[in-house]
Chains A and B, each alone.
Chain A
């Protein structure tokens, strides 16, 4: 990469409330030559301090046509932590997740009001470049969705969209992304084979590798394990734990044990409202609301 540092992530980062120098350095390493060691040393969380807010929702409402899916959401998603969204089906947790990278733009009837800030900038604003947003906020879906291309081309797809790389830089980026997603050893000998030949669990890790290859800060995961067997699920959960200090991760899950295992914070949604959001341990032991307790103890949902 010969791109000068200023051109890489532009002025977007300066909106960040946290010390900007650190974040710029992280984005630089992620988008150019993502070496995990560097990320780890630079992003080591200071033990006592509260992590800065990454995504902040204020008076956030969302509709599909006339149906209001979300009511007055107030939520802070901390930087470089795992936040789990739990709640029964249809409670709006996936809807909120899909606003974080504006995937709902693809649904004609979907609209929203209120604010949704990413590091202090309203990402719902029409001035916000949605392509840049999605480069910064990656997403992993319920069903693994590798492209019908080779493993290499799957990972290289995103980087190629946004920048021009030399052949060797691209190869390095693909390798580092696959290593980061803990799948390199399984695929390194068949990078040119179709990604559709991989098992479901491998495909999902490939999709995570594909998402992190463009150097996002945030990873959204919409029930990433619900189509996988228990062993593949365990592999993804290990991976989430491994990635938690470099990425802000938001995971929607129906599996409460999973939320308890992988997340630092948990937000419980019910009928389009955020009932409560707190440290995961507190949600599962001493929640403030009756509905939360009923749900996490398996009395309904």
Chain B
């Protein structure tokens, strides 16, 4: 600066200093406001979550003052609305939920993984560019549509197939199987999309290494890429199963309304979520033990999905460590 005040550098210096400077107080004040707003937003969502859990726990505890925890968790009969004596054994609801989830998993998990392998390892890029958005659209369809689909297409198809194969009318108007398949179709994009992300995050160098040893594309996919992405695939499975367990609209429409302890997919079942819908939409008095029972069911459902979510995060965390 001292050498030549009127050269280009000097002009630049003068120009850079021409603007009015922002005072430190304004700067720090702005930072403080931003911090409060951000903390407020974060706190709000934590607060809402805490409130939901609190209400669930409170109502569940009130329910357990009327009905023993032991009966709730070990009983095999669920008839809170009908009959002389109300029975609150939760197992039929849990079994219904698990049956629908199992059918959905059997349908969606292998299909989703195979589709993901195809998209990630086999499909040319133009095909993937078409299929990936189609999958995302599939993921955006409201689940009530799947419910209709189960009721009007899947269940009649199953009825017909069962008739042809066994000669008997196995399926009624509602079935756990039809609902399960519809739930499977609903979670298929989740499995496919997340598994595909996991497969694609396997470093290209591993594929090169496999090909260089004489692997075919199938060898590479099955022996290197899938094992390499196993954590992500498992996480996608757990997330999909969590969604299946919590799915409400499809099962409320297509699974039936009879809480029975069964493993037969052509029977109708009532799931935990479907029971809650029945209670809140029906005319159960808001003070009765039936009403409170839905909170106990909700709390149990929340615990189940929470455990699955935690397991998913653990697997994902372990998977992330592997390549670092």
Contact = CB atoms under 8 A, between A and B. Distances in A.
A87 B206 CA distance: 26
Nearest to A108: B124
B6 to A, nearest CB: 40
B210 A147 contact: yes
A241 interface: no
Contacts of A259: none
B208 A145 contact: yes
B206 A103 contact: no
A210 B216 CA distance: 17
Contacts of A196: 322-323
Interface residues of A, number: 26
Interface residues of B, number: 21
A141 B215 contact: no
B83 interface: no
Contacts of B214: 131-132, 134-135, 158, 161-162, 214
A149 interface: yes
A106 B208 contact: yes
B136 interface: no
Interface in A124-179: 131-132, 134-135, 138-139, 141, 143, 145-149, 157-158, 161-162
Contacts of A225: none
Contacts of A145: 203, 205-206, 208-209
Interface of B: 124, 203, 205-216, 219, 223-224, 227-228, 322-323
**Nearest 10 interchain pairs by C-beta:** A145-B205, A139-B212, A158-B213, A134-B214, A145-B209, A131-B214, A135-B214, A148-B228, A143-B205, A145-B206
Given A135-B213, A141-B208, A157-B213, 14 more contacts: A134-B213, A135-B214, A139-B208, A141-B205, A147-B206, A148-B228, A148-B323, A157-B210, A157-B224, A158-B213, A162-B214, A196-B323, A210-B209, A214-B213
15 contacts: A101-B212, A132-B214, A134-B213, A141-B209, A146-B209, A147-B209, A147-B224, A148-B322, A157-B213, A157-B223, A157-B224, A158-B214, A161-B213, A161-B215, A210-B209
Interface of A: 101, 103, 106, 108, 131-132, 134-135, 138-139, 141, 143, 145-149, 157-158, 161-162, 196, 207, 210-211, 214
